[in-house]
Amino acid sequence: TDGNVRTTVACASGSLNDGLRVAFTAGAAMGFGVVGLAAFGLSILLLCMKPNRNQLQAVQYTHSFGFGASSIALFARVAGGIYTKAAD
């Protein structure tokens, strides 16, 4: 939200170009933060999968874990509307 406020102030007091520069900088910082946390989480997950497996098995299990998490997230989002309508 701080980036939104700074972008609004830059557009209001300066030009549209100033606002776009602030927005791009704030978005890049957030994007790098998300990618960094995702790489850290993937590394930890891979290390947890490694102890009793060889490298290929650990990577395959990690890949399967990610596919399952994506599938659950997709179906939870799609099915959410059905369950809330049934509750009404």
Q: In the block, which residue shows the tokens 């099915």?
A: 79
Within 8 A by CB and 6+ apart from 15, the residues are none
pLDDT tens figures, 51-80 = 888 878 877 877 777 777 777 666 766 655
- Going from the C-alpha of 63 to that of each of 3, 11, 14, 58, 67, the distances in angstroms are 34, 44, 47, 9, 6
Has residue 49 got a pLDDT over 80? no
pLDDT tens figures, 13-22 = 988 888 888 8
Rounded to the nearest 10 degrees, the angle between the axes of helix 16-49 and helix 55-87 is 120
**Structure confidence at residue 53 (pLDDT):** 80
pTM passes above 0.75: no
Collapsed DSSP state (helix, strand, coil) of residue 15: coil
22 neighbors 10 (Cβ within 8 angstroms): yes
The mean per-residue pLDDT over the stretch 30-57 comes to: 83
What is the overall mean pLDDT for the chain?
Answer: 79
What whole-number percentage of the chain has pLDDT above 90?
Answer: 3
Distance CA 70, CA 62 (A): 12
